[in-house]
Chains A and B, each alone.
Chain A
Amino acid sequence: MKRRVALKVLAASVMAASLPAVGHAEGFPDKEITLIVNYGAGGGTDLSARVLAKGAEEFLGQPIRVVNKTGGSGTVGPTNIAAAEADGYTIGIASFSPMAVSPHLTPVAYSLDSFDFILGHARYRSGISVGKDSPYQTIEDFLDAARSGQEITYAATDTLTKIFMAKLQQELGADFKAVNYKSGQESVTATIAGVVDFNLEGPTNVVPQVKSDNLRLLASVSSVPWFEMPDVPTIKDAGVDLFVESYAGLAAPAGVPEDRLKVLEDAFAQALNDPEVQKTMSGLGMEPAYFSSAEYRTLLEEGYASMDSDLEIIGLK
């Protein structure tokens, strides 16, 4: 008897769950939104996503719950976004690397078409920094040494910077040797300890060490100088026409109703405009940078397309 009742309850709940969700476009959002972050809690990407989410809550009138789905070089997060229901209540970080680079290297269960992009919100920057006892005082010293063909070691943490270094090596006729590290923190430590000659990390890890006089930033290798150290030139200023850049943005699973996407884009764009949010993001070493939904998609598509030949340069394709 008991069992039969239990079965009925089970059947009823299964039926309830399979009823289609009714969307109220004008009432969106009427419940909590989940934001999936593809990197670990407490890192730069995570904390800036949390700050941005906190800002957007005000405009959405609903809480945003941040969930970390880490692993697979940041591809597990987007996999979960792509698989979520396209109702606008599950969104997440779709950063440049897992969107444009990883699909070339690893089988992933998504493509750029699996997503509707909400906006791009930040730029990851990189720079060449050396230990304080390094012989290279300026970017020119560094480039001269590289052109002479002497072996120079660097700490490598991701594919994008490795591609950049391979291009720079071709351009200069240099002999760069990559030593692989798993995090920016580790690669900065190795530079301070003198294990490698330089690294290509971003402001999050490098700026505190420059302030503490453990590292010297020679040049930004992004398209812009670092706003934390505006006096340090870009490598383009030094006559090398190359740069490497990566971005963070938000995406929803493909198929979210237009009007809901608009609500999300507006809310996050407004949050990104908030000086408080910008200040906190900057403090974390992320440069707030707004790209509209369409701009962000183009950025990723171009990046994805160019990656085929780029990966060939470093022998991964």
Chain B
Amino acid sequence: MDAVLLAINHVFAPGNLIFLVAGVFGGVVLGAIPGLSATMAIALLIPFTLTLDPVASLLMMTGAYKGGIFGGSISAILMRAPGTSAAAATVEDGQALAKEGKGLKALKVSLIASVIGDTFSDIILIISAVQLARVALQFGPVEYTALTVFALTVVGSAAGTSLIKGLIAAVAGLSLAMVGLDPSTGIPRLAFGEIHLYGGVSLIAVLIGIMTVAELLRQIEQRREASRAHIPPPRHRDDSRITREDARLMARPIAAGSILGTIIGVVPGLGPTLGAFLGYDTAWRIARKPEKFGKGSVEAIAGAESGNNAVSGANLIPLLGLGIPGDIEAAILIGAFLIQGLTPGPLIFQESPDVVYGLYVGLLVANAVLLVAGLLAIRVFVRLAGVRTGLLFPVVFVLAIVGTYAFQQSLFDVGITFFFGVVGYLMVKADIPRTTFLIGFILGPLLEDNFRRSLELSSGQYDIFLSSTLGNAFWIAAILSAGWVFYQRRKMRRQASGGKQ
């Protein structure tokens, strides 16, 4: 108990609290600006870790991470320009609500879902980091392969009106992920001699192109609207707040998103984007109003947003419990541990419990700070989105290009962004969903690496894929999930045609 009290003292020491608050606010703002992202916020903070006290630097980084993931949704909802890939699942429903003048409602739903998801996964981290970390070791190449195939079935809910088009986009995304060095020989593949493609196509550049730039191209078409406000003002008081009915709709998806996000976070290498899409998908499956999905569903936003934020606390579970990072952000935290002379992994509980408890208390405080920072930020950003489009979108365009360049200081990435801007625009015109393209692109490397690893282990024998109980469970889940997609879609079609008669 003393350790906890000490930690509380430590976190609330003005020096530390400032870094925590600055991290959260900085994360929200950077995340909300199209083109800048949570990963970038953390990368910007790395130099600080060379000199800061370990607790302060860890708090600032995790604060920025949480803030960044939520911030990404602000621009997703208001401008259809997700600040992070984790916010891509929120775009359609958020924007649909904003266009009805319910932008503030959508943002509040997103904020509440984010904070609850964060808090839930932090609590799981605090009560069971060391025990749950062993789960990460249950995942070998076979289990990852099966899990990724299962995760790909979320295409079913994210595909929108046409399943075929959704699948086409997903396969295109998977194919794009194959550009780069071959994972086993290290020889370039599909790179056409272009050195900048050896490392694969940058996710940030593709994301900004296919979502933000494509949206800007669409805006150019609507010349007459240039003088009109981008999003209309609310028509009714209820448009700007969470009503009792909304709260009732949100409860189930938030619970599901929080649990799923936490599970995703415990398994290394999956990340918040998958958390968001699985949260969205599950929300669709258990929805009270599945027909609203993609057209302004509160349930969709709640599921996706609790899903991505719940990953952030849980991916510290393998970090503290085993010394294995859950994703890129956690890997950067490992660097911060090492440079401070700490041993990432369970030893840290003995080496410096003050750091662990400081981190625990700090995470919970950061959630409260996120709530406040979020409420302040959404008011400002809603105001900004009310600016007439002729002024707003040129600014967004500049930010998107600067952000793309700044991420890796690569002009090549800016070219990628323009290219995918046009691709995204054509996809919108052809009514091909961009989200399933992104799902394929993000899951591609995970699927390929583990598929090939499995075969390397078995010397090419395919029966290895059925050799694990956990793997088999995922195969069955994938089959059931795919079947459910067909069932649900047929039911909705029948209802739709029944409604017309």
Contact = CB atoms under 8 A, between A and B. Distances in A.
B186 A72 contact: no
Contacts, number: 149
Nearest to B449: A182
A76 B47 contact: no
A189 B318 CA distance: 10
Interface residues of A, number: 55
A76 B195 contact: yes
A76 B199 contact: yes
Contact of B141 (A195, A285, A316): A195
A39 to B, nearest CB: 11
Interface in A237-261: none
A111 interface: no
A72 B346 CA distance: 34
Contacts of A278: none
A153 to B, nearest CB: 7
Main secondary structure of the interface of A (DSSP, over half): mixed
A283 B339 contact: yes
A72 B181 CA distance: 7
Contact of A195 (B140, B408, B452): B140
Interface string B431-467: 0000000000000000001001100110100000000
A192 B322 contact: yes
Given A42-B43, A179-B456, A182-B449, A193 B137 contact: yes
A108 B191 CA distance: 13
B181 A180 contact: no
A195 B323 contact: no
Contacts of B141: 179, 195
A66 B43 CA distance: 12
A41 interface: yes
Nearest to B141: A195
Contacts of B188: 106
A222 interface: no
Contact of B457 (A70, A179, A214): A179
A106 B46 CA distance: 31
Nearest to B351: A211
Contact of B345 (A67, A194, A209): A209
B338 interface: yes
Contacts of A178: 184, 456
B498 interface: no
B377 interface: no
Given A69-B410, A185-B325, A51 B183 contact: no
Closest 7 CB pairs of A and B: A71-B199, A72-B198, A42-B332, A42-B335, A193-B137, A180-B184, A195-B140
Interface of B: 43, 46-47, 50, 136-141, 181, 183-188, 193, 195-196, 198-200, 268-269, 322-325, 331-332, 334-336, 338-339, 341, 343-347, 408-410, 449, 452-453, 456-457, 459
5 contacts: A42-B335, A71-B199, A179-B457, A211-B343, A212-B347
